[in-house]
Amino acid sequence: MGSRGGAATGTRKNLGETLVEVVITVVIIGITVTALISGLATAATSGAAHRESVSADAVMRNLAESAKAASDSCVLGGRYSITYLPPTGYTTSVSPGGGVCPAPSSTTLLQLQVTTPSGAHQTMQVRVRTP
Amino acid sequence: MTRTSRTDRPVRGDRGATLIIAIGFVVMIGAIAAGLSSLVVSAMGDRFILAELRDRQYAADGAIELAVAHVRSLDAAHGGTCSAPPGHIVDVLNEQSIRVDWKHSCTSVRGGDGVVVQQRNATFVACPDTGAACTPSTAVISAQINFQQSTAGVVTHTYVQTWSVTG
């Protein structure tokens, strides 16, 4: 009887422990998986933003080179205009977008802006001169 | 006694096992999350470095353009580009302070008609402004420009002979 009583007591002590462990485990795993999915979503969003930013950088460089190329054909007293067709979804602006070629001993400061499909802006300045 | 031991041992051995597995899982997921965070932070850092590099290169480009225009204006005051002394300017563009050093690199060449003429060239080196002259290791852009002059000594056109982006 003593032996049986001990066994019965041990089993009673363990009653519910496994259930509590499983519940705690499920809660922990649930929180962890939620956090992981959230992290993956953030990484994906960040990756898309990064890709867009790098593309905007390329657009900005192409725009700057177009501006410099336009001024390369300048002659004294002449005029120049900057033309650049950005990729779909991107918009660009140059201020001033053209005009009278700079005087030989001076430069013209241009303000370039690129707007990405998501609405983010990048700005940069370049100088152009008459060759 | 024997039966009691057989009943108790397996129950005691399993206690906490599920929790240990869960903690191991949390550690594993934590490591993955840390790796993801590191990737995102690294990508953002690279993006800023790329933008800063572009801004610095175009700031150096603009500073050299300004220096070329300046040397062109010096030409009239010194009777020719080759006569003007070496010098430097500091220009701020794209929130970058850039120094440009220039010196003359004139050579004599024989033209197609057999006449020897002097080529009026100047070399320009742009680097981030630290208060000291630019060196090859700090140079962002190095360029050599040819100044075409009329017989009256007026620069009529400039030609880019070399233009190296090194930084």
Residue B124 corresponds to which tokens in the numbers above?
């320009």
- Average pLDDT over chain B, rounded to whole? 82
- Beta-strand runs (E) in chain A: 79-81, 91-95, 98-100, 108-115, 121-128
Q: Which of A11, A17, A129 sits opposite B7 (nearest CB)?
A: A11
Mean pLDDT of B61-76: 86
B window 131-150, beta carbon within 8 A of A? none
B window 11-50, beta carbon within 8 A of A? 11, 14-16, 18-19, 21-23, 25-26, 29-30, 32-33, 36-37, 39-40, 43-44, 46-47, 50
A 10 A CB-CB count for B15 gives 12
Q: How does pLDDT run across B116-150, given as a tens digit for each residue?
A: 777 788 899 999 999 999 999 999 999 999 888 77
- Average pLDDT over chain A, rounded to whole? 83
SS3 A51: helix
Element (H, E) at B69: helix B17-78
Give dist(CA B81, CA B159) in Å, integer.
14
pLDDT at site B113: 81
Tell me the one-letter amino acid at B103. Answer: K
What percent of chain A has pLDDT above 70? 87
Q: Which of A3, A64, A105 sits opposite B4 (nearest CB)?
A: A3
Look up the pTM and report it: 0.75
Q: How does pLDDT run across A41-94, given as a tens digit for each residue?
A: 888 888 888 888 889 999 999 999 999 998 888 888 888 888 889 999 999 999
